[in-house]
Structure 1
Amino acid sequence: MRKKISESIELKTFLGMLALLVACCALIYAMVAVFLPRNYQTEIEGQVSSDFSELVALLEDRGWRSTEQDVLEFSVRNNASVQIVDEEGAETYSVNFADAESVSSPGQTMSLSARFSEGGRAYHVQANVSLVAVSQASGILLGLLPAVSVAILAISALGAFSCARYYSKPLLRISGVAKRMASLDMTWKCEENRADEIGVLAASLNEMSEKLERTMGELKQANEGLRRDIEREREQERERIDFFTSVSHELKTPIAVLKGELEGMIYSVGEFKDRDTYLRHCLETTNEMESAVREIISAARASGDFSPMEETVDVGALTVAVCDRLDSLAQTRDVRLWRDVRSGCPIKGDASLVEKAIANVVENAITHSEPGALVSVGLASGVLKVENSGAHIDEADLPRLFEPFFRVDRSRSRESGGTGLGLYIAKVALDRHGVACSIQNTDEGVAFTADFRRAMEAAK
């Protein structure tokens, strides 16, 4: 029970208020029981003394024979016995309206006496006043004590219950809200529309919950951003590992071939005695390795941690220049190169990276086109489109075309597939400039699309 009381503010408030109200009411009743009879007795004694003084004055003025009626009225009014005796002690007049039992009790009577003269003779007047009304008042108060105690207890219990509910219920609701807030549940609101401290507490909790909810939302966004950054870092780390793994794989084969041919020539083994022939072959292998290394360096530069140069780049002019430079390659492979650059496309960025990206895409289209095919390069309204006719790529391979060292040719022949870094470099370079790019099959062939419109808006 003690534990239950200590854990319940409503029960503690009820018991505290009950004890306080009972104590206050009992103290008030005790004070009434003690001081009311005393004050009543003092009031009666004062009134009796005043009436007795007036009676003595009448006896002195008119004599006792003329004031018998006044003496009788005094006795009746004050519940007293009055006796008049002469100077010899003989009783000349008496009247008694006092209760005999109360007169016999000294603590419940009041005696007054005085002398007066009439016709040259001295008289003595004695009055005994009964104070039984005072004792009766005390008895009545004591008799009412059980009923008054029950009434005090009932009223105190009702008052304590009302007070406990009025003050503890809002606190209990606020306590429940605080517990929900501790569990980070902010889907609540204190509905205590009061102007006192409890209302201020409820308003403070509401304000605190709003701030906490806002802060938690900001933290959640920050955590989500941090999670994305971590995922991006992990993805970049995986890409770097895959990239270097692919680099080692790409360089391992030509190095092994070059080493084998050189050893064969050194030891004059079989056909390798013809050194002039195989030296030229070694030179070709070395040139291929040099070209691959340049591509790898370009890919590393494009994907490295650097910011592109912030200069004005005219994508239209770069596209025309790339087409002019690759026109001879198209003629060599018997491919028609057609361009349609309708307008300029100014953006902010690194001209060398953008040119490299466009050149890789156009060169890739020419290289992977059959003789007699058409490669069209168009730029209109900020969208670059490079399409080679007669070609087709499996839908399963389309998402992987931008991966480093990926080649559609499963034989991985360098004559038809290159290093597999061209489109990877192009995508990384365009991504650095905020340019979205994609490759899809069309009715005519395969088309590469790069959207420069966002970069144009940023440049403005």
Structure 2
Amino acid sequence: MPKAYDHQKKKDLEADVSVLAREITDAAPEERLSIVTDFASKWNANITVEYDALSYEVNLLGEEINPAPTKDGRVDTTIRFRKDNHDSQISLVNNIKGGADFFQAAQSFSDGKGHIDTVVSRQQIEDAVSTVLMILPFTAMICTVISVFFAIFYSKMYTNPIRKICSATEEMRQLKPQAHFMNVTQDEIGMLADNVNGLYRDLLTTIHELEREIKNVEEAEIQKTDFLRAASHELKTPVTAVNAMLENMLMGVGKYKDRDTYLARCKGLMEQLADMIRDILDTLKIGFAGVQECSKMDLADTLLTVMEPYLVIAKTRGVEFDIRLENSFVLQMPREMFKKALSNILANAVSYTRQGGMIYIYIEKQTLVIENECTPISPEHLSHIFEPFYRTDFGRNRTNGGNGLGLYIVAAILKSMDVEYRFTPSEMINGMSFQILLNQKGIP
């Protein structure tokens, strides 16, 4: 370190001497002495300037400093030549720059009119080095303590959040819903924690959606199995009846000798069987309603179109309609599936309205309401009314009560279109009320 400091000081001295030479060259004669003394004061130096037949000498170190003799016992000396007012003077002084405690710099002026000699003491350097060497152990100790302190501080500052992230991710690995990393920093670790939390939320959402889909698929499979089991049982009845009547007619047993009568009955049973098969096929197609294209349609126009055949049927039974559709609005839904649901609801209403009764159809707050006068269904039966092939007691048999698939198909269609519905005893009349809530399907 002392050698490096010596080298730097010499470079600084040489640079300042070069600057001094330029300043003396550019300055007026009366300003040069001030420039030289300022330089000597700055460096605490001996300096001699010979320029333009003028000599400037400042001696802040003293010229009588006795340097140490060399190994052969000689003492370095310097011969100085001075010329003032055309007089020459030669002097012999101790060469202080030959001592180990001093270093010097010399430079000639660029115009050749003189030169500069300066000598600077190394005592300041030695003092600085001694001071540095004295405080170096304490400085090193303090730096070590501070370094250890900050190393521990920063290691904890970075490792603690990482440990918390590891703990949170372990809970996430176990799919705990409450797993979450509480982030309190805005640095890169904080950004990582936010990304981990966001990723886990998305993962949980995806898992829950998959679980719901799996549950829906399982329920659909169970319903499908139950439906097919019930369908096979329902199909057996007319097939068995037709087969028995045909065998008896072929054998000419008893009343079955009247073939015309029982062939007509067989034909009726086969038509009933065909209707049931058609309804079963329609039910199986409902699963594809989600991929059907939705279209815009006016609720009143659609309802009136579906009602046409049921107006004729109702008239033959003395059943009248009270229709109020002034609050109609435009829907966007799968047209054919919705018309199928409306058709089954109207068929159910016409079939079970008592002789000479009324059917009320109106729109209220984007809800389609179809009410018919009949014997209200008990809560016991209502809990099963949407099950396939389910029939209530009072007259709802295969002869005049259908095959038990009508309301099941309605429920399946409306569920597939995500439409809410209610089937309850009416509060306005003595009968039942079917309500289809279409507030999510209307177009503003």
| 8 Å contact from structure 1 (residues 313, 351) kept in 2 | yes
- Give the deviation of 1:306 after TM superposition: 5.5
Post-superposition Cα deviations, 1:105-154, rounded to whole Å, max 9, x if no partner, equal xxxxxxxxxxxxxxxxxxxxxxxxxxxxxxxxxxxxxxxxxxx9xx97x9
* 1:245 corresponds to 2:245: no
Tell me what 1:334 maps to: 318
Quick one: distance in 2 between partners of 1:344 and 1:188? 52
| 8 Å contact from structure 1 (residues 334, 371) kept in 2 | yes
2:358 corresponds, among 374, 377, 382, to 374
Quick one: distance in 2 between partners of 1:221 and 1:189? 21
CA RMSD of aligned residues (A): 3.4
- Give the deviation of 1:390 after TM superposition: 3.9
Cα distance change on mapping 1:446 and 1:410 into 2, 3 Å: closer
Tell me what 1:456 maps to: 442
Cα distance change on mapping 1:434 and 1:186 into 2, 3 Å: closer
Structure 1 runs of 4+ with >6 Å offset: 154-158
- Which segments of 5 or more consecutive residues in structure 2 lack a partner in the other structure? 1-65, 76-133, 170-178
What residue identity is the alignment partner of 2:332?
Answer: K
| 8 Å contact from structure 1 (residues 315, 347) kept in 2 | yes
Deviates more, 1:158-167 or 1:261-270: 158-167
2:304 corresponds, among 306, 309, 320, to 320
Give the secondary structure class of the aligned counterpart of 2:371.
strand
| 8 Å contact from structure 2 (residues 367, 435) kept in 1 | yes
| Number of aligned positions between the proteins | 310
* 1:229 corresponds to 2:223: no
Tell me what 2:187 maps to: 203
Cα distance change on mapping 1:189 and 1:378 into 2, 3 Å: closer
What residue identity is the alignment partner of 2:439?
Answer: R
Cα distance change on mapping 1:189 and 1:287 into 2, 3 Å: closer
Quick one: distance in 2 between partners of 1:276 and 1:261? 12
More helix by share: 1
Give the secondary structure class of the aligned counterpart of 1:235.
helix
* 1:386 corresponds to 2:362: no
Post-superposition Cα deviations, 1:157-203, rounded to whole Å, max 9, x if no partner, equal 77645432321233134223212212326433465xxxxxxxxxx82
- Give the deviation of 1:389 after TM superposition: 2.3
Quick one: distance in 1 between partners of 2:350 and 2:259? 35
Tell me what 2:163 maps to: 179
2:346 corresponds, among 362, 381, 385, to 362
Tell me what 1:115 maps to: none
Deviates more, 1:168-177 or 1:238-247: 168-177
Cα distance change on mapping 1:431 and 1:346 into 2, 3 Å: farther
Quick one: distance in 2 between partners of 1:387 and 1:411? 19
Quick one: distance in 2 between partners of 1:306 and 1:335? 36
Tell me what 2:432 maps to: 446
What residue identity is the alignment partner of 1:452?
Answer: L
* 1:345 corresponds to 2:329: yes
Deviates more, 1:301-310 or 1:434-443: 301-310
Tell me what 1:60 maps to: none
2:250 corresponds, among 266, 287, 291, to 266
Give the secondary structure class of the aligned counterpart of 1:453.
coil
Give the structure-2-normalised TM-score. 0.61
Cα distance change on mapping 1:174 and 1:190 into 2, 3 Å: farther
Cα distance change on mapping 1:351 and 1:213 into 2, 3 Å: closer
Give the structure-1-normalised TM-score. 0.59
| 8 Å contact from structure 1 (residues 365, 388) kept in 2 | yes
What residue identity is the alignment partner of 2:182?
Answer: W
